[in-house]
């Protein structure tokens, strides 16, 4: 949508679709990248599949580690925003 500056603070906002668009196997997600003034720089949407714990071993180990680190960072952000 607009050029994305480097080395400047940006905000990434992600949302999972409401219950009407989420299903048992997955959901639709959207993401928006904002500059410091709140201007939309980029947007994206995707269809995501839910991954059950029993299927996690199907993911190659290097990607599982990356996923686990990402989830840990998300949990830290959520904890800091709530307390």
Range among 15-24, 33-42, 44-53 with highest mean pLDDT value: 33-42
- Round to whole Å and give the CA distance between 59 and 71: 15
Give the pLDDT band of residue 67 (cuts 50, 70, 90): confident
List the Cα angle 37/40/41 in 5-degree steps.
Answer: 105
Segments forming the whole domain that contains residue 78? 52-83
Number of separate domains in the chain:
2
Whole-number percent of the chain with pLDDT over 70: 92
Whether residue 45 is found in the same domain as residue 82 = no
DSSP 5: P
Helix, strand, or coil (residue 66): helix
Contact between 29 and 13 under an 8 Å Cβ cutoff? The reply is no
Query: What's the whole-number mean pLDDT along residues 13-32?
Result: 79
- On whether both 34 and 19 belong to a single domain, the answer is yes
- pLDDT reported for residue 37: 94
The answer to whether residues 56 and 26 belong to one domain is: no
């Amino acid at each position: 949508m607009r050029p994305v500056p480097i080395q400047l603070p940006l905000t990434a906002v992600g949302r999972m679709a409401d219950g009407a668009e989420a299903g048992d196997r997955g959901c639709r997600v959207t993401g928006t990248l904002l500059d410091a003034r709140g201007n939309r720089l980029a947007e994206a949407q995707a269809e995501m599949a839910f991954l059950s714990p029993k299927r996690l071993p199907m993911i190659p180990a290097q990607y599982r580690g990356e996923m686990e680190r990402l989830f840990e960072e998300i949990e830290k952000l959520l904890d800091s925003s709530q307390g």
